[in-house]
Amino acid sequence: MKPLSDCRLYAFVDTGYLNGRSPEAIARALGDGGADLIQFRAKGMPAAEIQRHAERLLAIADRAGVWFVVNDHPEVARAIGAPLCHLGQEDFFDTGFTRVEQLTRADAGPDGLAALRRDRPLQIGLSSHAPAQAARAVAAGAAYVAIGPVFATPTKPGRPAVTLDYVRWAAANVRIPWFAIGGITLANLDDVLAAGARRICVVSAILNAPDIARACREFLRRLPSPAF
Measured at the CA of 109, the angle between CA 92 and CA 59, to 5 degrees, comes to: 85
What percent of the chain is predicted at pLDDT more than 90? 84
- What is the arithmetic mean of pLDDT over 110-120? 50
DSSP-derived letter for residue 88 is -
DSSP-derived letter for residue 58 is H
Model pLDDT, residue 113: 44
- What is the arithmetic mean of pLDDT over 47-68? 97
Model pLDDT, residue 67: 98
**Cα(178)–Cα(144) distance, rounded to whole angstroms?**
5
List the domains of the chain with CATH numbers: 4-222 (3.20.20.70)
Window from 5-19, 65-79, 135-149, 151-165 with minimum mean pLDDT: 151-165
**Cα(92)–Cα(102) distance, rounded to whole angstroms?**
10
Grade residue 132 by pLDDT with cuts at 50, 70 and 90. Answer: very high
Grade residue 153 by pLDDT with cuts at 50, 70 and 90. Answer: confident
Model pLDDT, residue 112: 44
Model pLDDT, residue 158: 72
* Whether residue 228 has pLDDT greater than 90: no
* Whether residue 115 has pLDDT greater than 50: no
DSSP-derived letter for residue 107 is T
Grade residue 37 by pLDDT with cuts at 50, 70 and 90. Answer: very high
Q: What is the mean pLDDT of the chain?
A: 92
**Cα(117)–Cα(205) distance, rounded to whole angstroms?**
37
**Cα(106)–Cα(78) distance, rounded to whole angstroms?**
9
51's CB contacts (< 8 A; 6+ apart) are: 73, 76, 79, 80
Model pLDDT, residue 108: 56
Window from 89-98, 114-123, 144-153, 171-180 with minimum mean pLDDT: 114-123
Is there a contact between 203 and 171 (Cβ–Cβ < 8 Å)? no
Q: Is the pTM value of this prediction over 0.85?
A: yes
User: Over the stretch 179-221, which tens digit does the pLDDT of each residue have?
Assistant: 999 999 999 999 999 999 999 999 999 999 999 999 999 999 9
Model pLDDT, residue 25: 97
